[in-house]
C-alpha cells in the first residue's frame, strides 16, 4: 500500500493526540467505528462559550489513513463554530490526504466522528 506524503506526515507526527479531562468545561466526545471493523476513532472537541471550537484531541485505533484522517480533522475543526465544523465533508478529507478508493471509509469515519462529537455537545448543552 503506497501512502501519500500527507498521510505519512500525519501518521508519523500525529497532531493533537490525547484526551481532555472528563470534567473539563465544554468538552464533547464522539466515538465511532468498532474494533471488529479495524477502526475506532475518538474525537474530542472543546467548545468555548461563543460556540467556537477552541481545541480538539483524538485517539484512533486504525490504519495509517484512519490516523491521518482524524489527525487532520483535529486541525481543521479548531477555530470553527460547531455548525461550520459540520460542513467538513469526507470528500475534502479524502482529497487533502489523497486517499486511495479502498481508504475512503477512513475519511467517512472522520466525518462521522465530527458529527458524533457535535451531537454529544448539543446533548450536553441543550439550550
Partner 1 sequence: MLKFPIYLDYSATTPVDPRVAAKMIPWLTEHFGNPASRSHAYGWEAEQAVEEAREQVAALVGADAKEIIWTSGATESNNLAIKGAAHFYQGKGKHVITVKTEHKAVLDTVRELEREGFEATYLDVQENGLIDLDVLKAAIRPDTILVTVMFVNNEIGVVQPIAEIGEICREQGIIFHVDAAQATGKVDIDLGKLKVDLMSFSAHKTYGPKGIGALYVRRKPRVRLEAQMHGGGHERGMRSGTLATHQIVGMGEAFRLAREEMASENARLLGLRDRLLNGLTGIEATYVNGDLEQRVPHNLNISFAYVEGESLIMAIKDIAVSSGSACTSASLEPSYVLRALGRNDELAHSSIRFSIGRFTTEEEIDFTIGLLNEKIGKLRELSPLWEMYKDGVDLDAVQWAAH
Would you tell me which residues interact with partner 1 (CB under 8 A)?
1, 3, 11, 14, 17, 19, 31-42, 59-64, 66-67, 102, 109, 112, 116
Give least dist CB 49 to partner 1, A: 28
Among 12, 18, 25, 37, the one annotated catalytic: 37
Cα 92 from Cα 69, distance rounded (Å): 10
Among 47, 53, 68, 106, the one annotated catalytic: 106
Cα 7 from Cα 13, distance rounded (Å): 10
Q: Which residues does residue 69 pair with via DSSP β-bridges, in sequence order?
A: none
Of 53 and 68, nearer to partner 1 (C-beta) is: 68
Of 34 and 98, nearer to partner 1 (C-beta) is: 34
Give least dist CB 29 to partner 1, A: 10
Give least dist CB 103 to partner 1, A: 10
CA-based diameter of the chain, in Å? 47
Cα 118 from Cα 65, distance rounded (Å): 22
Of 38 and 79, nearer to partner 1 (C-beta) is: 38
Assess whether 63 carries a catalytic annotation: no
Could you tell me where the beta strands, DSSP code E, fall in 1-127?
Answer: 27-34, 39-47, 53-61
Question: Would you state the cell numbers that stand for residue 17, as one nine-digit string?
Answer: 493526540
- Residues annotated catalytic, as ranges: 37, 106
Amino acid at each position: 500500500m503506497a501512502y501519500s506524503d500527507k498521510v505519512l506526515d500525519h501518521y508519523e507526527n500525529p497532531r493533537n493526540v490525547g484526551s481532555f479531562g472528563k470534567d473539563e468545561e465544554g468538552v464533547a466526545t464522539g466515538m465511532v467505528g468498532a474494533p471488529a471493523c479495524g477502526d475506532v476513532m475518538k474525537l474530542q472537541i472543546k467548545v468555548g462559550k461563543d460556540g467556537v471550537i477552541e481545541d480538539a484531541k483524538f485517539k484512533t485505533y486504525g490504519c495509517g489513513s484512519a490516523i491521518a484522517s482524524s489527525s487532520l480533522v483535529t486541525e481543521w475543526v479548531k477555530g470553527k463554530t460547531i455548525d461550520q465544523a459540520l460542513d467538513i465533508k469526507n470528500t475534502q478529507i479524502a482529497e487533502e490526504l489523497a486517499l486511495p478508493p479502498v481508504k475512503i471509509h477512513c475519511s467517512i469515519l472522520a466525518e462521522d466522528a465530527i458529527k458524533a462529537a457535535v451531537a454529544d455537545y448539543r446533548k450536553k448543552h441543550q439550550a
